[in-house]
Structure 1
């Protein structure tokens, strides 16, 4: 019984704690008054949502008699199991609804924020009372999503409390059941032992009675020799005395165990099971009342947001929508749009007689008006979004730039919804005649080319540092979506290093890496030095390029996963449900700045290629 009492106290504390927030929060919002935590009576002061409990019903004689019957324990165990299963189903519902509410509120908040930004920044939309009032309504949707977020958090908490409650009660039920079955088996075994002793005693008595009816002079031959009837009677009498003593002792033992079991242990077990049933049922009732209060509070807050109480200086959604004046909007637009602009195509042509026809009027001249119209609305060239196997330079060919076999063009869809043309350009190949071998700060031979023969990447200047510069500034300067240093390093590793063992575990020559880094910082065109001489590519060359790529990412002031995105990413990857976890992580990646997003995309494609060769490079 000590094992069953301990879980019982924990359950009681859980149900009591679960009811306390309901009293404080509902009182603060004015929805409900304080909720009583007493198991005997759980009512609301303003209205009876939960009927008053009736403990006296369980004290009636017929119920007491039923609880003391042989089938009481099995009935109570079955009833308690039903309560536990009900609690588990209640908890599952709370979890599913919490996830649904959370997902709905996040999407509502997202579209509200996006719409507000669009209404403020777009110049193609109207700018009148409709847009103003529409923006107000969208802001109210954002406020409604905040109310829903609090409701979903409450549902998550209720799910955790119900899960803990069901687990605790299930353990208590199991412990109580095992104790009862063990005690019951002891009594049954004692009765069975007494029954065996009785049968043994009766058998000896029957044998003695049979022996008395036989001839007294007759001898019986046994393993121990021949015995007379008198001698046999003496032996049976001794056996009967021993069997009788054993019979009496076992009957007394079984009777005592049965008496204790029926009068003490079974009633106490029935009471414990009854208390567990009442406690879990009361706890679920309190949680259900808590859910009803939270639901009513959320709906009321939403309703007050949509339609505030009278007397407050806050417009309702209906009044906001009704305050749009379309005629006044058009009137004000026309006043702002009127000007001195004239349609030159409607200017009439004046008649002038040609001088050759009327020489007398040679002093006159024909005034010809010409109107040239030019279209200045040409779209600026869009940035190129480079993939994992593209060159960092422009697609224009140069005499000193030799195309490699990896150059290609493809049209890809932007994963974030738009379309873009992905144009590849030839890398600088060391096989060009203008390359010269030299050694910079170490044994690595570097390919050198004259700067005047190599076109710089768009926007590149010789005084702009590559390392330590934020990605957003670097791609703005270069006119690309992925930094040239990243694309050139990825190209070299994809071409020469995918099958190198430990390509990113093995460090390159430190002096070579530092020399390349300094040269690229001094002049961005020195990115071409990353490409090794194709006629003498060594492992140290490739390891140096891999180390240079790692050095670049280490030098960034802010990682690819920005300071704002990192906590969200770490939080979302802990979500247990795969589908929800995928949605959350995808949203974090989707919200990254363009430079971080496309650089991360290229890096992941490249690492996927590295993994595909893991049999060789692992």
Structure 2
């Protein structure tokens, strides 16, 4: 007879050789079915009591690694994107600034612009690298989502299988308990029948003696009940063993295989994404290396080696428009002082005749033109023609000042002239800034500025017009209202300044720079002794500059010069 036993574990139940089909489709795996042959790893893990939890944990670990990789690539892509955009923006802004300054074309400036373009190209390459990293991160994000989904499906399936097995084990334990109880009851009835047959009585056990027929009936009922419990126990045991066989022979290998395939998919996919990243990184590094040194002499290293300081210096000097001066011209000549009084000791034929000079500086424009008999002052013609002949390529023309002694020399030559002529380098001591200094001095010393003070408010009001066309028209009207002498002189000067700004690539004197110099000069804002509190303000000075800037910008509209 079988004694009473506790609940049985799955590992303690003998697997029945009989076939049994699962009662529910719930046990059917949703993962791909394996082949009939199970590989050695699956066979080994199937026999481990922690095989399935171990593979679930391994898949979870790989998913966490994939998430870390995803986080790294996202941040790396953001860093590369920011680096690329900042480098490209810096290179482009520096190139624009470099082009605006219009440096002389030499090997140094060409090398610098090439270096900036190389960095702009590096920025573009880094932007491409950033995009590729972002694509890798996006693919890994899809991978993590898919692997997590597959792992969860396998885990849920294992939980359902374990729940079915657990319920079957519980039912088996109950069947075993019923069988044990029924067997004990049957055993008790048999012992009672045996004792009665031997004439023995058990005190206190039975209230009254039963006959043999009654005892046999009780024993038959106990035997039948035990037999039924035994049959139910055997059937439940067979059912549990079949479930366990299906689980360990079919479902568990499939789940282990699915987890192995999921883990393999995660690792292989990550290895592929690492290879993509490695290739993109290598391409970016190679591209940067090519920018540093390529086979076509376009790399950073070759650009730097092409800088020729000696050639740059020679070319710069040659573009400044200087003339060769002979050694004899450099020698200073003796100049005897010509006295205006007659020396009595000298013969009459040797009496000194005063040098004929005239006042040019500090004389009103009308008075000067009456003496000269022309439309434009001779000093303006002399200085403008000399500057256009020798100084158009002189960097900083009109902005730099000449030496005071050289300016006095030019001033003396102009005051003694009766017609316009070109000054030679010997006349202005080789410093063209002496000529510009003399011309600016003449404008500043005019008793009334070239644009008279009484009409300055009209000019300022015209410059303040918000409509561009109305602004030019108003300024045109104000200029036409000037006296004839002022109009002709201003027209000649603006024509000369237009030629200066046309050569700004060499002299660096564009319209804004010329306006800053001539705004106060032509409207009296820089006159010595002038104070803002009397009639002008600092804002007026700024409008003076703006007025001259508008005139220079619209020179051909306002004055309508001849095509020649």
Please give the TM-score of this superposition, normalised by the length of structure 1.
Answer: 0.46
Match of 1:459 among 456, 465, 468: 465
Question: Which of 161, 166, 171 is matched with 1:183 structurally?
Answer: 161
Cα distance between partner residues in 2 of 1:209 and 1:347:
155
Aligned residue in 2 for 1:167:
145
User: 1:203 maps to what in 2?
Assistant: 181
Give 1:365 shift.
6.3
Instruction: Return closer, same or farther for 1:196/1:82 CA change in 2, 3 Å cut-off.
Output: same
Distance 1:369 1:2 in 2: 115
| Residues 529-577 of structure 1, C-alpha deviations (whole Å, 9 max, x = no match) | xxxxxxxxxxxxxxxxxxxxxxxxxxxxxxxxxxxxxxxxxxxxxxxxx
How far is 1:351 from its partner? 5.6
Q: Does 1:137 align with 2:115?
A: yes
Q: Does 1:81 align with 2:60?
A: yes
- Name which one, 1 or 2, has greater alpha-carbon Rg: 2
Superimposed CA distance per residue, residues 255-306 of structure 1 (whole angstroms, 9 cap, x where no aligned partner)? 1111111111111111111111112211111111111111112211221232
RCO comparison, higher one (Cα < 8 Å, 6+) = 2
CA spacing shift, 1:371–1:128, aligned 2, 3 Å = farther
Counterpart contact for 1:144–1:305, Cα < 8 Å? yes
Q: Pick from 347, 350, 354: which aligns with 1:364?
A: 354
Q: Within 2, Cα distance between the matches of 1:456 and 1:101?
A: 52
Q: Does 1:241 align with 2:220?
A: no
Q: Distance in 2 between matches of 1:357 and 1:208?
A: 174
CA 332–376 in structure 1, closer or farther in 2 if over 3 Å, else same:
closer
Counting only pairs closer than 5 Å after superposition, residues 406-421 of structure 1 correspond to structure 2 as: none
Report the secondary structure of 1:337's partner residue. Answer: coil
Deviation at 1:109?
Answer: 1.3
Structure 1 137/368 Cα, relative in aligned 2: closer, same or farther at 3 Å? same
CA drift at 1:354:
7.7
CA distance in 2, matches of 1:462, 1:128: 39
Q: How does 1:90-101 map to 2 (within 5 A)?
A: 90-101=69-80
Q: Which residue of structure 1 aligns with residue 318 of structure 2?
A: 335
SS in 1 for 2:30: helix
For 2:371, the equivalent position in structure 1 comes to none
Runs of 5+ unmatched residues, structure 2? 1-27, 326-331, 363-378, 380-396, 400-460, 475-564
Specify the SS of the correspondent of 1:152.
Answer: helix
Tell me the TM-score normalized by structure 2: 0.50
Partner of 1:326: 309
Distance in 2 between the 1:98 and 1:462 partners? 48
CA contact (8 A) 2:66 2:270 kept: yes
Distance in 2 of aligned mates of 1:72 and 1:347: 113
Match of 2:291 among 297, 300, 305: 305
In 1, the alpha carbon distance for the partners of 2:224 and 2:203 equals 19
Query: Which residue number in structure 2 is paired with residue 71 of structure 1?
Result: 50
1:287 equivalent in structure 2: 273
Deviation at 1:190, TM superposition (A): 0.8
Residue 4 of structure 1 aligns to a residue whose secondary structure is coil
Partners of 2:76 and 2:208 lie apart in 1 by: 90
8 Å contact 2:98–2:113 — kept in the other structure? yes
Matched, 1:272 2:278: no
Secondary structure at the counterpart of residue 3 of structure 1: coil
Gaps of 5+ in 1: 9-55, 378-454, 465-473, 479-618
Question: Any idea what the Cα deviations from partners look like across 1:559-598, whole Å, max 9, x if unmatched?
Answer: xxxxxxxxxxxxxxxxxxxxxxxxxxxxxxxxxxxxxxxx
Q: Residues 308-330 of structure 1, C-alpha deviation per residue, up to 9 Å, x if partnerless? A: 13xx4x33321211111212222
Q: Of residues 239, 242, 246 in structure 2, which corresponds to 1:253?
A: 239
- Equivalent-residue separation in structure 2 for 1:149 and 1:347 (angstroms): 70
Alignment of 1:546-565 (within 5 A): none
Residues 322-374 of structure 1 deviation map (CA, whole Å, 9 limit, x = unaligned)? 111212222222233354899xxx9999867687999x98973696988789x
Deviation per CA, 1:140-183, whole angstroms, max 9, x where unpaired?
A: 22222222222222111111111101110110100011111211
Native 8 Å contact 1:459 1:477 kept in 2: no
Cα contact 1:352–1:366 (8 A) shared by 2? no
Distance (whole Å) between structure 2 residues aligned to residue 133 and residue 461 of structure 1: 43
Answer yes or no: is the 8 Å Cα contact 1:77–1:177 preserved in 2.
Answer: yes
- Give 1:47's aligned residue: none
Distance between the aligned counterparts of 2:473 and 2:161, measured in 1? 84
CA contact (8 A) 1:137 1:320 kept: yes
More helix as a share of residues:
2
What aligned pairs does 1:469-488 form with structure 2 within 5 A after superposition? none
CA RMSD of aligned residues (A): 4.6
Counterpart position of 1:600: none
Are the aligned partners of 2:31 and 2:255 in contact in 1 as well (CA < 8 Å)? Answer: no
- Taking a change above 3 Å as real, the CA distance of residues 316 and 462 of structure 1, as seen in their structure-2 partners, is closer
1:66 positional shift: 3.0
CA gap 1:2/1:206 in 2 versus in 1, 3 angstroms: closer
Distance of 1:249 and 1:347 partners within structure 2 = 140
CA 308–199 in structure 1, closer or farther in 2 if over 3 Å, else same: same
Summarize the alignment of residues 391-406 of structure 1 with structure 2, pairs less than 5 Å apart.
Answer: none
Q: Distance in 2 between matches of 1:112 and 1:195?
A: 81
CA distance in 2, matches of 1:155, 1:86: 17
**Are the aligned partners of 1:3 and 1:172 in contact in 2 as well (CA < 8 Å)?**
no
